[in-house]
Amino acid sequence: MPTAADLIDCLRSSDLLDPAQLDEISAELVSDDPQELVNRLLDRNLLTQFQVDHLLKGRGGELVLGPYRLLELLGEGGMGQVYKAKHRRLQRIVALKVIRRERLSQDPEIIHRFQREAQAAAQLFHPNVVIIYDADQIDGTHFIAMEYVDGIDLARLVFDRGPLPIEQACDYIRQTALGLQHAFEQQLVHRDIKPSNLLVSRLPKATESIPDYGANRWGIVKILDMGLARLVQGMDGQAASFLTQVGTIIGTPDFIAPEQARNSSKVDIRADLYSVGCTFYFLLTGQPPFTEGSVVEKLLMHQLDEPEPVTKLRPEVPEAVAAIIHKLMSKRPEDRFQEPRHLVDALAAVADTLKATATSAVTDSPAAACENGAPPPNADMENTAVVEVTPLPADPTNAQAVKQEKAEEALVPVAGMHVESAEKPKRIAELHGHRGWVLALAFSPDRNRLASAGIDGTICLWGFSSRLPSEQRLPLAHDGEVHAVCFSPDSKLLASASGTIDGKILLWNLEGDYPRQLACLEGHMASVECLAFDPTGQYLASGSSDKTIRVWDLSPQEFNAKIKATYVLKGHTDAVLALTFGEDFRTVLSGGRDGTIRTWNLGRLWGAKSTILQGQSGEICSLCMSGDRRFLASSSVDETVRIWDLPNQQSALLTGHSDVVQKLLFPPEGNRLLSVGNRGQIILWDLETTEKMREWNLGMLVNSAAITHDGRYVAIGKGDGSTAVFRLYPKRKKTDDSN
């Protein structure tokens, strides 16, 4: 548009604004610059940026479809486009689904089916179903106008935040069942229930009236495409969602009922209930019932196999809730709930159990802390959210600093103290930086930094040298999730490991104002699960799902060339999950999914011999060496910890955890061991007596954990993308004679 006058002419012909509005804007212009006109239109919210972009390209005629003015593009897929639009006369905001002409022209019968199905869906009127307002065609363009929902779908919510709190997930399923019951009474079956077809809207403002149909603090669930899935099946030849697939992270085969995979034309509401069960499973675990295999293999799994029990992936899920999911996912339709209302009744019956088992995860979840209690639509997680932050004391470097720290925060002997008398750890920071699970954490040896890595492939560095933690986000260099991070002994390097098949390890230089990538170590043929630096920081060991261990020489001169592994250690029969070094780089200890702990003695001519430590049973989860390199601690899935006296070839078993131990540390203050379990149980052990000295309970699931070298601070990675930092010991009150 060369001039403002040209743009005004385009606006008049496109019918986007009323004539009076155009006259008013035209009278205010002081120049013929089209950008001045654009700025005025945007400032007054008379046009959207989407509309302006079309106008400046001379495509204003595409912004009106019958009585609707298109405001912005919401999504696009194989079936067509979805727009946010406004009805010109009624001034009602709608979601307008415009079907591609070529999809309807493939079969003339499709047009009649489109009209019949849209008419049937328009009969639905329920707060938990997206309402259809209109279905029509203009000049051969068919569209459906339906209720616009300002919110987020459950697939995206779980992807962004991780598994939902139990009570919240149950409420979303209850609302879904209420909507399906209404459809069942109208003799409609959805055939494509899945998280991405369930939208959660915001609640009304506090000053607005709240409907009496069960809306609560987590938002109102709206079923999308109710009654239209069968239409799309006929048009597309497969069970695919009518709405665009943009943003969808889970495909239909993950949620389809066994009988529907065989013959979708004869299924009833019980097929939808099976899909509800799969969705329930997804909301609580963050994954579909069957995670591996091709589409055909997944369809067969729904027919023949049982998924991993939800209580194994999420132990705190009440048995009553797990039983509901199991019943929903019964292979035979007659073994499921026969109507959605029966599911509503079952959830009501366990309401008291849900309230009793509700944990701090509800209040910890960012989704529960939003305005009006409803989840935000694709909220930006880039910024740091901090609550009650206390900076970590600097690591003492001289005698005066040691004296001062001991006066402020000494570790008080608590031998024999029972859990009931132990003071609860203080949460000093809540750090939000990832979308989804935090998979790996590590404190730097100097305690000034915490590295966190997520399933979203991002790595954050949190600084604790000031009152408020600072955040640095490393450049997104990994193509997928990150499974391990590790600091060098001098805190100047960070290693990060890819959780994807590329098996890459990246080295980051942390000196200077901004971290920069130094090198990329390649050689593993599968995901890298663990990393460890030797005591000098010259060597890095990596363990992988390819069953090998690689030891890399990180001498400074090597950074200018491609780094190759000095040693490749083979012997484990399954993935290597834990690593640590002995006295020097020539002794490496490893633990694997095969249940073995191996000690590798590296020769000078690149040879290596290994011996197996006998005694630990089950998959090895963690390894840790004591400061004097005499003792090794190991944990496994059998919920035990074992201490190995390596010089004397003896071991002792520590029992007391009620869950799998994920992290181990030998604090410097004497003969002790600190262990962190998957349910937030932390135990300080006396290694002379093999008894508990102290015990804490954080009351949360632990996706990942890190402990400062002195055992005073613990970081916990959670499923919602946040990291909680706790101080285990209270500050000692200063006395008159303390300095």
- Per residue in 187-204, pLDDT tens? 888 888 999 889 998 644
By DSSP bridging, strand 459-463 and strand 631-636 are: unpaired
DSSP for 17-28, written as a single string:
S-HHHHHHHHHH
In this prediction, residues 314-343 reach a mean pLDDT of 93
Residue-wise pLDDT tens digits, 423-476: 678 888 889 888 878 999 999 998 889 999 988 889 999 988 766 678 888 887
Distance CA 48, CA 71 (A): 6
Mean pLDDT calculated for residue range 159-184? 90
Residue 381 pLDDT > 50: no
Share the mean pLDDT of the chain: 78
**Which of 339, 19, 404 minimizes the C-alpha distance to 183?**
339
State the number of CA atoms in the 13 A half-sphere of 672 facing the CB. 20
Confirm whether 710 is a catalytic residue: no
Average pLDDT over every residue of 55-69: 83
38 vs 98: which has the higher pLDDT: 98
Query: Which tokens is 237 given?
Result: 């030849």
Nearest-angstrom CA–CA distance, 714 and 732: 19
Q: What is the pLDDT of residue 556?
A: 63
Q: φ, ψ for residue 600 (rounded to 5)? A: -105, 125
pLDDT tens for each residue of 115-156:
766 777 777 888 888 888 888 888 878 888 888 888 888 988
3-state secondary structure at position 14: helix
Q: In this model, does residue 295 exceed pLDDT 90? A: no
Report the DSSP beta bridge partners of residue 54. Answer: none
> Please, which pLDDT band fits residue 254 given cuts at 50, 70 and 90?
confident
Mean pLDDT, to the nearest integer, of 293-314? Answer: 86
Q: Give the integer Cα–Cα distance in Å for 132 and 115.
A: 13
Per-residue pLDDT at 127: 86
Query: Which of 153, 192, 225, 638 is an active site residue?
Result: 192
- The reported pLDDT for the residue numbered 116 is 67
Q: What is the pLDDT of residue 559?
A: 61
- Pairwise pLDDT comparison (567 vs 364), residue with the higher score: 567
Q: What is the pLDDT of residues 570-590, one digit of tens each?
A: 989 889 999 999 887 789 999
User: So what's the pLDDT on residue 106?
Assistant: 56
Of 135 and 371, which is predicted with more confidence?
135
Count CB neighbours of 237 within 10 A. 8
Specify the higher pLDDT residue, 329 or 364: 329
Residue of 583 and 32 predicted with greater confidence:
583
**3-class SS of residue 715:** strand
Q: What is the pLDDT of residues 633-672, one digit of tens each?
A: 999 988 899 999 888 888 889 998 988 899 999 998 778 9
For residues 264 and 247, the model is more confident at: 264
Report which of 304, 414, 280 is spatially closest to residue 732, judged by C-alpha positions: 414
Quote the longest CA-to-CA distance of the chain: 94
Whether 497 has a pLDDT exceeding 60, the answer reads yes
Band the pLDDT of 371: cuts 50, 70, 90: very low
pLDDT of residue 398: 37
Which of 405-409, 460-464, 484-488 bottoms out in mean pLDDT, i.e. has the lowest? Answer: 405-409
User: Token pair of 55, please?
Assistant: 């106008």
pLDDT at 355: 63
Euclidean distance between CA atoms 547 and 103, whole angstroms: 49
* Residue 691, pLDDT above cutoff 70: yes
Tell me the per-residue pLDDT of 710-734, one tens digit each, with 9 for 90 and over. Answer: 899 999 998 878 899 999 987 655 4
Q: Look at residue 604 in the predicted model and tell me its pLDDT.
A: 58
User: Smallest Cα–Cα separation from 166: which of 276, 344, 315, 327?
Assistant: 315
Whole-number pLDDT of residue 423? 60
Q: What is the DSSP letter of 192?
A: -
Q: Which two tokens stand for residue 28?
A: 């205010």
Q: Residue 68 and residue 134: Cα distance in Å, rounded?
A: 11
The pLDDT value given to residue 389: 33
Per-residue pLDDT, averaged over 313-317, amounts to 88
Cα 696–chain centre separation: 26
Residue 326 three-state SS? helix
Nearest-CA neighbor of 364 among 312, 429, 318, 311?
429
The mean pLDDT of 506-524, rounded to a whole number, is: 89
Is the torsion defined by CA of 650, 652, 653, 657 positive or negative?
negative
Q: Quickly state the pLDDT bin for 236 (edges 50, 70, 90).
A: very low
Which of 138-142, 312-316, 405-409 is most confident?
Answer: 312-316
pLDDT in tens, 545-576: 999 999 998 886 556 567 888 899 998 988 99
State residue 369's pLDDT score.
30
Give 227's pLDDT tier (boundaries 50, 70, 90).
low
Asked which of 157-171, 286-300, 386-400 is least confident by mean pLDDT, the reply is 386-400
> What pLDDT was estimated at residue 500?
85
Residue 736 vs residue 473, higher pLDDT: 473
Give the mean pLDDT of 213-229.
68
Q: Residue 603 pLDDT > 80, yes or no?
A: no
List, edge to edge, every strand of the sheet that includes 597-602: 576-581, 587-592, 597-602, 608-613
Q: Which pLDDT does position 393 carry in this prediction?
A: 43
Query: What CA–CA distance (Å, rounded) separates 561 from 554?
Result: 11
Per-residue pLDDT band for 58 (boundaries 50, 70, 90) equals confident
CA 21, CA 15: separation in Å to the nearest integer?
11
pLDDT at 735 over 60: no
Sketch out the chain's domains with CATH numbers. 4-144 (3.30.200.20), 152-373 (1.10.510.10), 399-727 (2.130.10.10)
* Whether residue 102 has pLDDT greater than 80: no
- For residue 78, name the pLDDT band (cuts at 50, 70, 90): low
Q: Is 604 left (phi over 0), alpha (psi -120 to 50) or beta?
A: alpha
Q: How many CB atoms lie within 10 A of CB 96?
A: 26
Q: How does residue 384 score in pLDDT terms, banded at 50, 70 and 90?
A: very low
